[in-house]
């Protein structure tokens, strides 16, 4: 049973960077693009979209890697935890689901009450990985 605790809190593995968000996430995504795969070191990058205006760091700050024109990826400079995807001029920030203290509060499942989740860049997915959660799948964005 999800509790939908507000503020949403999270942080990196070593604890140097902590954040809280005063509003619920608005969407979820599993990105299967090669960049998310490389940067996460995993099969896909699972992230939730939050309002930047509702987001604040409560400890430390992120280092950023400019991964493409207009987009950068934030991570802890000490432990390397991947935490944020930021597009230039976007009022939203994508936060790595794994960095949340309570990801169980926000199920990325079909018909979840808090928002819509989907798989994106499925065209770049590792071919032997089978998606079985029934969420919508987009070939690109």
Where does this chain bind Zn ion (CB under 5 A)?
12, 14, 16, 31, 33, 36, 76, 78-79
Find the shortest distance in angstroms from Cβ 36 to Zn ion: 3
In angstroms, the CA 12 to CA 59 distance is: 10
Please say which residue, 8 or 33, places its beta carbon nearer to Zn ion. 33
Q: How far is the CB of 25 from Zn ion (least distance, A)?
A: 17
**CB 3, CB 105: distance < 8 Å:** yes
Residue number, 2 or 64, with CB nearest to Zn ion: 64
Identify the sign of the CA torsion 5, 6, 12, 15. negative
Report the SS3 class of residue 86.
Answer: strand
The nearest distance, CB 111 to Zn ion, in angstroms, is 24
């Amino acid at each position: 049973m999800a509790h939908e605790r507000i503020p949403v809190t999270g942080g990196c593995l070593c604890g140097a960077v902590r954040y809280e968000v005063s509003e619920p996430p608005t969407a979820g995504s599993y990105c299967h693009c090669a960049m998310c795969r490389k940067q996460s070191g995993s099969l896909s990058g699972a992230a939730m979209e939050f309002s930047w205006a509702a987001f604040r760091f409560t400890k430390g700050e992120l280092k950023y890697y400019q991964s493409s024109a207009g987009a950068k990826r934030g991570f802890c400079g000490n432990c390397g935890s991947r935490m944020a995807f930021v597009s230039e001029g976007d009022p939203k920030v994508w936060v790595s689901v794994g960095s949340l203290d309570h990801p169980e509060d926000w199920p990325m499942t079909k018909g979840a009450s808090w928002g819509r989740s989907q798989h994106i860049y499925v065209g770049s997915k590792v071919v032997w990985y089978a998606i079985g959660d029934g969420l919508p799948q987009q070939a690109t964005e």
